[in-house]
Amino acid sequence: MRTVILPGGDQVPALGQGTWRMGERPAQRDDEIRALREGVGLGMTLVDTAEMYGDGAAETLIGEALGTVRDQLFLVSKAYPQNAGRERLAVACENSLRRLGTDRLDLYLLHWRGSVPLGETVLAMEALQAAGKIRNWGVSNLDVDDMEELIAAGGNGCAANQLLYNLTRRGPEHSLLPWLDGRHIPVMAYSPIEQGRLLSNATLRRVAETIGATPAQVALAWAMHRDDVIAIPKAGTVAHVRENRAAADLVLSQDDLAALDAAFPRPGARRPLEML
Ligand SMILES: NC(=O)c1ccc[n+]([C@@H]2O[C@H](COP(=O)([O-])OP(=O)(O)OC[C@H]3O[C@@H](n4cnc5c(N)ncnc54)[C@H](OP(=O)(O)O)[C@@H]3O)[C@@H](O)[C@H]2O)c1
């Protein structure tokens, strides 16, 4: 599995597992647990979650599914913006740790920007880091202006920015990805198959057929083809997990990339950052 090195030195797989909407439907619980375990067994040991997902239900599911292999994992969770102040972040973090059944998060992210000043969130994250509750901290859904403000507010320790990035959401390539690249801050690409909506695209299907892959594999390989991008697809079945894992070994040719560029053009101008 190709890896990405975070600014603090931690090495993580370039393909992880998302968990939004997991743990919410009892009928799917066993499949979801099997899927997460299969993914970890296949090297997708980075697991992304958030206190928001199912009001903590996704974190609880992860704790149940992966508690026995905690030390193999790189656990990422996210705090609501309204919890990103000094006191509330410590409480939110403790709640996430309890649901996950662990004593530390490997990466803790501000889920999106709210009204708490970024400088206060930086101090709150650093306090959690000093206390050993989190190993790294970062952000999500922050555009260039916000990132500049974050750095100016003392946020040089930011370890990642989790963004909506896939073939149909290439806006970040204009300004944000070069900005992050210049500061060696990795990107976590969320909704890398656009929640499944991408998979019926004719060009994607054609490229996939030509190289003997599936549309999901091509979409994931595309998201990961840039250095320092970690893709975090959510898959609720073992079959989807296995299919997605193979994408990490798929190398797209210049011809494949050109065909995808033609169908999903690069942004010609800066656009506001999109989020789901
Ligand atoms: N920071 C943020 O604001 C933010 C926002 C959105 C998402 N995220 C994170 O990013 C993760 C991924 O994004 P996402 O869940 O929105 O969307 P996604 O990963 O692009 O798509 C998930 C959907 O695709 C399906 N799928 C997965 N693998 C497939 C395959 N090989 N073939 C066909 N269908 C497949 C899944 O179905 P099954 O479940 O049936 O497998 C699910 O319906 C989230 O789970 C979450 O952890 C973060």
Ligand 1 pocket (Cβ < 6 Å) reads 18-20, 48, 111, 140-141, 162, 190-196, 199, 216, 232-237, 240, 243-244, 275-276
Cα-to-centroid distance, 132 and ligand 1 (Å): 30
Half-sphere exposure of 197 (CA within 13 A, CB side): 7
The predicted model gives 133-144 an average pLDDT of 98
Taking residue 42's Cβ as centre, other Cβ atoms within 10 Å add up to: 19
Measured by CA distance, the residue closest to atom 13 of ligand 1 is 191
The predicted model gives 130-152 an average pLDDT of 98
What percentage of residues in the chain have a pLDDT greater than 70?
Answer: 100
| Confidence band of 186 (pLDDT split at 50, 70, 90) | very high
Short-list 116, 113, 68, 77, CA closest to 96: 77
pLDDT in tens, 44-86: 999 999 999 999 999 999 999 999 999 999 999 999 999 999 9
Quote the CA–CA distance of 48 and 107 in Å, as a whole number.
Answer: 9
- Give the pLDDT of residue 32: 98
Closest ligand 1 atom to Cα of 112: 3
CB 15 within 8 A of CB 230: yes
pLDDT in tens, 146-170: 999 999 999 999 999 999 999 999 9
Residues carrying an active site annotation = 53
Helix (H, G, I), strand (E, B) or coil at 215: helix
